[in-house]
Amino acid sequence: MRTIGLIGGMSFESSAVYYRMINEMVRERCGGLSSAELLMHSVNFEDIVAMQKAGDWDGAARRLGDVALKLQIAGAECILICTNTMHLIADRVAARISVPLIHIIDETAASLKAAGRKRPLLLATRYTMEHGFYADRMKNLGVEIVVPEAEDRTVVHDIIFNELCAGKVLDSSRQKLMQIIEREKAKGADSIILGCTEICLILDPDNLPLPGFDTTAIHAEAAVGFSIGDERKQKAA
């Protein structure tokens, strides 16, 4: 079993979901009391949010790059950035390390293509929906995403930062998100990307008007596959 390195804390609410999911997946696949070999460095999200608001993506890249390198030195054999938004700087983080960085956009695009989905609606932070890095990488991987209208993007962003990242899950906000989904479904969206690692706290991807793709679960699945894939093949042989 190879060691997974997690850059967490953005927010710690979703990092806890990563930890639980990865360990549950390992136990399910390996049996008994199996759990994951992993390391997590949880950053102070307040510092990262300040960089986001200031547009200091260079500073954020240096910060997360330092963390990734520390995880590698500590024994991590792959790295995950446990947030969609900070994949804006993923290539710069990956350049600091010699172990693989498992990219959340790449893994999500592969899941969408495998399911034959061609027009997914992206629900995420404003940075992820508007900065272009997500749409551009998806397009290069053969997936054309759509995003909500400007007013709805503000609603989604505020629910994420003001509520979910603070541990608040409100039925009224769930209803707002469902209304946004219905509007975009009427315009031709054929699936939903839960493109913020906290959104799985409020929306069940299996209980939506369109097929849902939870990026947190997809990312965790990829990490587990990396960690135990070779080991399982060897045991089977």
Whether the Cβ atoms of residue 184 and residue 148 lie closer than 8 Å to each other:
yes
Cβ neighbourhood burial of 171 (10 Å; 0-12, 13-18, 19+): exposed
Question: Are 70 and 83 part of one and the same domain?
Answer: yes
- Average pLDDT score over residue span 109-126: 96
Question: Are 206 and 109 part of one and the same domain?
Answer: yes
Question: Are 134 and 181 part of one and the same domain?
Answer: yes
**Number of folded domains in the chain?**
2
Paired tokens of 197: 């690692």
Query: What is the reported pLDDT for 214?
Result: 96
Paired tokens of 118: 């061609």
Catalytic residue among 196, 200, 215, 216: 196
Spatial separation of the C-alpha atoms in residues 158 and 16, rounded to whole Å: 21
pLDDT confidence of 233, banded at 50, 70, 90? very low
Question: Are 31 and 128 part of one and the same domain?
Answer: no
Q: Tell me, yes or no, if 165 is annotated catalytic.
A: no
Query: What is the reported pLDDT for 229?
Result: 84
Instruction: Give the mean pLDDT of the chain.
Output: 94
- Average pLDDT score over residue span 34-56: 97
Question: Are 113 and 146 part of one and the same domain?
Answer: yes
Domain span holding position 73: 4-104+217-236
Catalytic residue among 30, 78, 82, 83: 83
Contacts of 117 (CB under 8 A, 6+ apart): 143, 190, 191, 211, 213
Q: Tell me, yes or no, if 82 is annotated catalytic.
A: no
Question: Are 57 and 136 part of one and the same domain?
Answer: no
Over the stretch 203-228, which tens digit does the pLDDT of each residue have?
Answer: 999 999 999 999 999 999 999 999 99
Question: Are 162 and 208 part of one and the same domain?
Answer: yes
Question: Are 222 and 189 part of one and the same domain?
Answer: no
pLDDT confidence of 81, banded at 50, 70, 90? very high
Over the stretch 138-183, which tens digit does the pLDDT of each residue have?
Answer: 999 999 999 999 999 999 999 999 999 999 999 999 999 999 999 9
CATH of the domain at 180: 3.40.50.1860
The residue to which tokens 């608040």 are assigned: 168
- Average pLDDT score over residue span 180-204: 95
Does 234 have pLDDT greater than 50? no
The residue to which tokens 């199996």 are assigned: 34
Question: Are 12 and 76 part of one and the same domain?
Answer: yes
Through-space distance between the first and last CA atoms of the chain, rounded to whole angstroms: 16
Question: Are 59 and 150 part of one and the same domain?
Answer: no
Query: What is the reported pLDDT for 230?
Result: 53
Question: Are 193 and 223 part of one and the same domain?
Answer: no
Question: Are 139 and 85 part of one and the same domain?
Answer: no
